[in-house]
Structure 1
Amino acid sequence: MNSKLITTPVTADLLRGALDAERTPYGLLPHRLPAWARRQIPDAQLAMAESQPSGVRLAFRTAATVIELDVLPTKRAYRGLPQPQDGVYDLVIDGRLAAQATVPGGRVRVADLATGAVELREGPAGTARFTGLPAGDKDVEIWLPHNETAELGALRTDAPVFPAPSGGRRVWLHHGSSISHGSNATHPTAIWPALAAALGGVELVNLGFSGGALLDPFTARTMRDTPADLISVKIGINLANSDAMRLRAFVPAVHGFLDTIREGHPQTPLLVVSAILCPMQEHTPGPLTAAFEDGTVRFRPTGDPADRASGHLTLDVIRGELARIVAERAGDDPHLHYLDGRSLYGEPDHTELPLPDDLHPSEEGHHRIAANFARLAFGPSGAFA
């Protein structure tokens, strides 16, 4: 540590994209769900996902050429496989990616896919360091890793730090699954919602939760209570691959989710997005199984296509119902819109950029989804025009 650097405590006013900040023995832990909602989370998977700061960043103005951020990360690994690469911290200056850093060490959450058991291994904190930055006043964002938890300690710089002005950009509140969370992206500004937000010139609040887009009422209430100028909900893949719901429950759950959001945002543009193309689940219900093949986790559905007749959910069933629900509601809600997810990633995209694990897009796929979303949602005839 350089003793000549100025130490600035990391406080909630430096955070963007987080809905809560918890004080821990180490420092400040950003959360993407508020404390009251976290108390209603029914499983460890969602608890882990919401604490991973996908879309969360520190935002400040400074003339610093050296920036250091102390962090205690919590990483995830699978028993029997090598630990994945360290999460990446993206430093963005005046809207452009300028530098990247990683923080080795930290805690490791080791999961056993066969048994579901989880072991937490303790490890040391570390520091994300950025040096040789351009001189002069600039707006700086440090995007936190989308795929590991980050408890934030001290921020050190060689010039004073001030909270960044808001800039007056519209706030886009988005909810979705692991694809929105950023699965397979290698760094946090390369997840499709971050890319789309940059293309659309908006401020992102990302409620994409790996495995957690299940129409949970606490998520709807969180969205209801979160200030936003634009709202989107991406519905489908987790409901199909978890086999958590039948058609009879799904339809009123969608209505209830939208009703709750509308309680707080009666006229905000609200875009319902169905799942991108996923061939294995288009006509076959879940649940999915996960297995290691050639060192990679791959997914397979275990349902029977014939089960659709008894209300089991597949992506084609879900898309049809979402289109119908939105069309019916739009008569009384002109600010409600529907977007077929296959227009973001469909057959031609799958041929060119296949899903590496049969479920999640590649990083190139994230860029494709973002470009299509920006064109269809933020474009002249889009819901967010």
Structure 2
Amino acid sequence: MDSNVNITTPLTPELLRGALDVERTERGLLPHRLPAWARAQNTDGQLAMVESQPSGVRIVFRSRATVIELDTLPTKRAYTGVPGRPDGIYDLLIDGRLARQGSVSGGDVLTIDMATGAFGRSPGAPGTLRFDELPGAMKDVEIWLPHDETTELLALRTDAPVEPAAQRGRPVWLHHGSSISHGSNAASPTTTWPARAAALADVDLVNLGFGGGALLDPFTARAMRDTPADLISVKIGINIVNYDAMRLRAFGPAVHGFLDTLREGHPTTPLLVVSPVLCPIHEDTPGPGAPDLSEMAEGRFTFRAMGDPAERAQGKLTLNVIRAELSRIVEQRAADDPHLHYLDGRALYGDEDFAELPLPDGIHPDATAHRRMGERFAELAFGGNGPFKGAPERR
């Protein structure tokens, strides 16, 4: 360790933004994006994994430090039969601008067999993220944690004192969605589409995008109800279809119930319901979706739809059915709720985008599409006559 990096700052929840809960472990802090009471109601290993992946979570402080070291224990993912994943990316922002990127090797490894759903874990060693030769002036520092890699925070060291960053009074945008909102296939934590949109709109993001976890869970709705926010969006659909989670009869009341719960805590907050982006395999074919095992044998990871379009007659859901139902529900409720709005997700990623930037695995947009979606959401939601235009600053 550099002898000049001799100031250790205790890692406390006050240094974190974007997390709903922070668990104190034997060695440090583990950020969570669902509170402990909600996690206790969940029995799904997939959701437990993804809510602990800190998409949108960042360490924020002010300092004159020219060297910053952060010790972490990451949890890497490995998929049976698929080439290894790269290490997660940390984005360092100085005064709001991307200055450096880094990774931490090692850590625990979570092995997932997509064919059977089995999980296995092997322990590993912590590692150190280091940024040096930084400007010596007083500055706002943000370390955005890897959006898709569970990250236990162990120690923060610098060569100059650290102080908490002042709240800038920006509106808080609370968003919930699926793996696409979580940031699957994005290049780094600040380039997921919600993070990109938040930066363009100059708002503080709380991202509750959960890979495989946007299933209208009541505990997620209650967590959002209880979270301070000036703007709220919910992106609903793809997980309902690719899990084959419910039929049309159950879907409509579940959406109403989710929105009712949000309104208990945020009765007049601008609330935007976003339908699914284009996903050709599920536009008119119900789920479930499943990995294509023949592709996995060749080292490629893709999904295919397992349902039959004829099953729509029995109430099975497709993306087009969900879009029509969400549009109907929002129109009905907006008669008494002028702060409720609807956005067709194909305005973020549609047919022309698919022709230019096809979905690499059949479901998730690539890194370029993430940036494009963020720019479009910023324009459609925060710009012009968008529902989030002119949000008041937080006092």
Task: Specify if TM > 0.5.
Answer: yes
Contact 1:282 1:315 in 2 (8 A): yes
Alpha-carbon separation, structure 1, partners of 2:146 and 2:39: 20
Moved >4 Å (runs of 4+): none
Give the equivalent residue in structure 1 for 2:309.
305
Residues 137-177 of structure 1, C-alpha deviations (whole Å, 9 max, x = no match):
00000000011100001100111111111101000000000
Correspondence list, 1:372-383, <5 A = 372-383=376-387
Correspondence list, 1:148-163, <5 A = 148-163=149-164
Match of 1:371 among 361, 366, 375: 375
Alpha-carbon separation, structure 2, partners of 1:117 and 1:337: 40
Alpha-carbon separation, structure 2, partners of 1:4 and 1:216: 49
Cα deviation for residue 331 of structure 1 reads 0.7
Give the equivalent residue in structure 1 for 2:393.
none
Which letter maps to 1:224?
R
2:252 maps to 1:251: yes
Structure 1 gap ranges (5+):
none
Alpha-carbon separation, structure 1, partners of 2:315 and 2:3: 64
Alpha-carbon separation, structure 1, partners of 2:96 and 2:41: 36
Where 1:142 maps in the other structure, the secondary structure is strand
Contact 2:81 2:299 in 1 (8 A): no
Give the equivalent residue in structure 2 for 1:272.
273
Alpha-carbon separation, structure 2, partners of 1:204 and 1:252: 28
Give the equivalent residue in structure 2 for 1:328.
332
Correspondence list, 1:53-202, <5 A = 53-202=54-203
Aligned pair count reads 385
Contact 1:26 1:72 in 2 (8 A): no
Cα deviation for residue 74 of structure 1 reads 0.6
Give the equivalent residue in structure 2 for 1:236.
237
Alpha-carbon separation, structure 2, partners of 1:9 and 1:296: 43
Where 1:124 maps in the other structure, the secondary structure is coil
Cα deviation for residue 25 of structure 1 reads 1.4
Residues 283-304 of structure 1, C-alpha deviations (whole Å, 9 max, x = no match):
0000011035242210001100
Alpha-carbon separation, structure 2, partners of 1:266 and 1:57: 29
Contact 1:78 1:111 in 2 (8 A): yes
Give the equivalent residue in structure 2 for 1:218.
219
Alpha-carbon separation, structure 2, partners of 1:349 and 1:114: 30
Q: CA RMSD in A?
A: 0.8
Alpha-carbon separation, structure 1, partners of 2:353 and 2:104: 34
Contact 1:56 1:143 in 2 (8 A): yes
Give the equivalent residue in structure 2 for 1:10.
11
Structure 2 gap ranges (5+):
390-395
Give the equivalent residue in structure 2 for 1:28.
29
Alpha-carbon separation, structure 1, partners of 2:115 and 2:358: 26
Which shifted more, 284-293 or 169-178?
284-293
Alpha-carbon separation, structure 2, partners of 1:114 and 1:25: 34
Contact 2:68 2:157 in 1 (8 A): yes
Contact 2:21 2:36 in 1 (8 A): yes
Q: What TM-score comes out, normalization by structure 2 length?
A: 0.96
Residues 75-120 of structure 1, C-alpha deviations (whole Å, 9 max, x = no match):
1111233321000110001111000110000000001112222110
Which letter maps to 2:94?
I
Alpha-carbon separation, structure 2, partners of 1:80 and 1:373: 36
Alpha-carbon separation, structure 2, partners of 1:296 and 1:11: 41
Contact 2:8 2:156 in 1 (8 A): yes
Alpha-carbon separation, structure 2, partners of 1:234 and 1:137: 39
Contact 2:82 2:301 in 1 (8 A): no
Correspondence list, 1:314-353, <5 A = 314-353=318-357
Cα deviation for residue 368 of structure 1 reads 1.1
Q: What TM-score comes out, normalization by structure 1 length?
A: 0.99
